[in-house]
Amino acid sequence: MGDETLRQVRFERTANSKYLVHNARGGTMTVGSGGSEDTDFTPVELLLVAIGACSAIDVDVVVSRRAEPTEFSGVVRGDKIRDPEQGNRMENLAVEFTIRFPEGEAGDKAREALPRAVKMSHDRLCTVSRTVELGTPVTTTASDA
């Protein structure tokens, strides 16, 4: 695969179970374990964010061409399963959008396009949810260099 396909983030430990994450464009964020005092997003929450935001962007691009939404929000949820035999994982992942459009012809066109946009995102466009559903293998290595 070439450089056009590569996506990458890097992270560094700042404290026990706390990391600073960097993207190639200079953005940073902290990620933590989700302890009682820790307001940072956990890795599982970031997975939910990635699924929801990926689909939201796909849907937003399609429907906003027709009308600017008056409300565009969503909830992404799932159950964290602790399974000693098959390992920890998320199940019952679901994205629920609440999207409203203004009255009138443009709003009607956006409402009409909404179900198709959601289906296209789920079935084809959202790289994150497609990767989760297809079950792409992850390789993990470590070095002491």
Mean pLDDT over the full length of the chain: 95
Same domain, 37 and 54: no
52/50 Cα distance (integer angstroms): 6
120/95 Cα distance (integer angstroms): 14
Question: Per the domain annotation, does 27 fall within a domain?
Answer: yes
Burial of 52 (0-12, 13-18, 19+ CB in 10 A): buried
Residue 21 has pLDDT above 90, yes or no: yes
Question: Per the domain annotation, does 2 fall within a domain?
Answer: no
**Confidence band of 34 (pLDDT split at 50, 70, 90):** confident
Q: Tell me the residue range of the domain where 89 lies.
A: 43-132
**pTM assigned to the model:** 0.92
**Confidence band of 1 (pLDDT split at 50, 70, 90):** low
Question: Per the domain annotation, does 86 fall within a domain?
Answer: yes
- Structurally, the chain folds into a number of domains equal to 2
- Work out the number of other CB atoms within 10 angstroms of the CB of residue 101: 23
Question: Residue 67 in contact with residue 107, Cβ under 8 Å?
Answer: yes
* CATH number, domain containing residue 55: 3.30.300.20
Residue 115 has pLDDT above 70, yes or no: yes
Question: Per the domain annotation, does 128 fall within a domain?
Answer: yes
